[in-house]
Amino acid sequence: MKIWEYCEDVDHYAHLTFVDLAFTRELISEFTGKPYTKTWPTPTVDFAMDWEAPGLSGRERKIIRKQNEGLPEPDFPWLPGAEAAAVFSMRALQVLGVLLGSAVQILPLNCKSKGYSIVNIIEVIDCLDQEHSLVRHYGPTFNIIKPVFKPGMLQGKHIFKLPKPSSTIFVSDEFKKTVEINELSGLTWKIGSENSKES
The tens digit of pLDDT for each residue in 171-199 reads: 999 999 999 999 999 999 988 776 554 44
> Distance between CA 121 and CA 169 in Å, rounded?
8
Is 178 in contact with 122 (CB distance < 8 Å)?
no
pLDDT band at 167 (very low <50, low <70, confident <90, very high): confident
The residue type at 106: I
> Distance between CA 93 and CA 113 in Å, rounded?
17
Q: Which of 64, 65, 58, 90 is nearest to 76 (CA)?
A: 90
pLDDT in tens, 56-115: 444 444 444 455 567 899 999 999 888 889 999 999 999 999 999 999 999 999 998 889
Q: Which of 168, 131, 124, 165 is nearest to 149 (CA)?
A: 131
Does residue 148 sit in helix, strand or coil? coil
> Distance between CA 151 and CA 121 in Å, rounded?
21
Alpha helices in 77-121, H assignment, sequence order? 90-100
> Distance between CA 3 and CA 173 in Å, rounded?
6
Burial 142-159 (b: 16+ CB within 10 A, else e): eebeebbbbeeebeebbb
pLDDT at 50: 60
pTM > 0.75: yes or no: yes
Residue 54 has pLDDT above 60, yes or no: no
Each domain of the chain, given as residue ranges in start order, spans: 3-193
